């Protein structure tokens, strides 16, 4: 198979990189290409979920573009038309993700791919849903949201780790009030990583701007959400999601949910099962 290292420039000048792979054989496939978006702190070349899934998607006959967003890695120095500045999951604003995904979809169309699917993992799934729920959503044929976490202030506040969550929120609110919103803080819940105080409030504040349960009904293409059976038992961000999503199905999104038996958040050892579920769903959805 051929691998092409590619880059795009988002409409605000941020340059991003990715890898486009073409299948060696092209059996009759429902899609021409998949755009695959990584999760928090990951990137297009990480040997994790998307790397394990990509060969399976290629074998089904579609090209695969694994692409960075400006939130790749925890901290990165992002090139742009205006110079370089700190980016990565610690510094990104999630509401800028549609700029990235729209640029990648445009590149695929320029390369001649017309029937495009969007596949996001974890935070990448949230970014995919956010992009397709927007008023200026790009046209794609299908959406697979692999393990989208529930970013719910209310849910986290009421969880067993609610006290620590409230303490972190209070600390971030004070830092923003003191003019220190761009400073990094290490948080342990709902995810252990570094993030700016302002970024934490943006993701996990009471507005719940990125709660997929509030966004998915606005998606206008066939949508599949998947979860690993292990993760829905292990973390507050996933518990109950397989049950809460199906009532949000609309005639436009025809939303379906699949739980992959034995899979963790990264679908370790279960990429074949995940790919089979995606292929079966996609052929029925077309």
Kindly tell me if the per-residue pLDDT of 1 is higher than 60. no
pLDDT band at 28; cut points 50, 70, 90: confident
pLDDT in the model for residue 189 = 95
pLDDT reported for residue 84: 63
The C-alpha atoms of residue 9 and residue 13 are separated, in whole angstroms, by 6
Q: How far apart are CA 70 and CA 15, in angstroms?
A: 8
Cα–Cα dist 60/82, whole Å: 40
Instruction: Check if the beta carbon of residue 181 is closer than 8 Å to that of residue 205.
Output: no
Average pLDDT over residues 254-260: 98
Superfamily designation of domain 2-151+212-285: Alpha/Beta hydrolase fold, catalytic domain (3.40.50.1820)
**pLDDT: which is higher, 277 or 26:** 277
CA distances from 204 to 82, 179, 185, 200 (A): 30, 19, 14, 6
Q: Is the dihedral of CA 166, 167, 172, 173 positive or negative?
A: positive
| Residue ranges per structural domain of the chain | 2-151+212-285, 152-209
- Average pLDDT across the chain, whole number: 94
0.75 exceeded by pTM: yes
pLDDT above 60 (res 13) = yes
Mean pLDDT of 35-52: 91
What is the side-by-side strand order in the sheet with 223-228?
A: 2-9, 15-22, 63-67, 33-37, 116-121, 142-146, 223-228, 256-260
Question: What does DSSP assign to residue 75?
Answer: S
């Amino acid at each position: 198979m051929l691998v092409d290292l590619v880059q795009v420039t988002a409409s605000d000048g941020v340059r991003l990189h990715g890898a486009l792979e073409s299948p060696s054989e092209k059996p009759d496939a429902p899609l021409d290409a998949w755009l695959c978006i990584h999760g928090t702190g990951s990137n297009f070349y990480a040997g994790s979920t998307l790397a394990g899934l990509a060969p399976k998607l290629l074998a089904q006959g579609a090209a695969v573009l694994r692409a960075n967003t400006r939130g790749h890695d925890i901290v990165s120095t992002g090139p742009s038309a205006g110079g370089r500045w700190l980016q990565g999951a610690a510094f990104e604003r999630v509401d800028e993700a549609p700029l990235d995904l729209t640029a990648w979809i445009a590149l695929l169309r320029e390369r001649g791919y017309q029937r495009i699917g969007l596949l996001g993992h974890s935070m990448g799934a949230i970014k995919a849903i956010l992009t397709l729920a927007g008023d200026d959503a790009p046209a794609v044929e299908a959406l697979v949201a692999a393990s989208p976490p529930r970013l719910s202030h209310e849910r986290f506040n009421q969880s067993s780790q609610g006290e620590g969550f409230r303490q972190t929120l209070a600390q971030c609110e004070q830092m923003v009030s003191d003019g220190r919103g761009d400073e990094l803080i290490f948080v342990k819940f709902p995810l252990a990583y570094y993030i700016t105080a302002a970024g934490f409030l943006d993701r996990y504040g009471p507005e719940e701007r990125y709660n997929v349960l509030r966004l998915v009904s606005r998606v206008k293409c066939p949508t599949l959400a998947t979860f690993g059976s292990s993760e829905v038992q292990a973390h507050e961000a996933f518990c109950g999601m397989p049950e809460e999503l199906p009532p949000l199905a609309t005639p436009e999104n025809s939303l379906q949910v699949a739980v992959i038996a034995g899979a963790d958040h990264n679908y370790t050892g279960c990429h074949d099962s995940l790919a089979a579920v995606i292929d079966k769903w996609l052929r029925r959805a077309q």
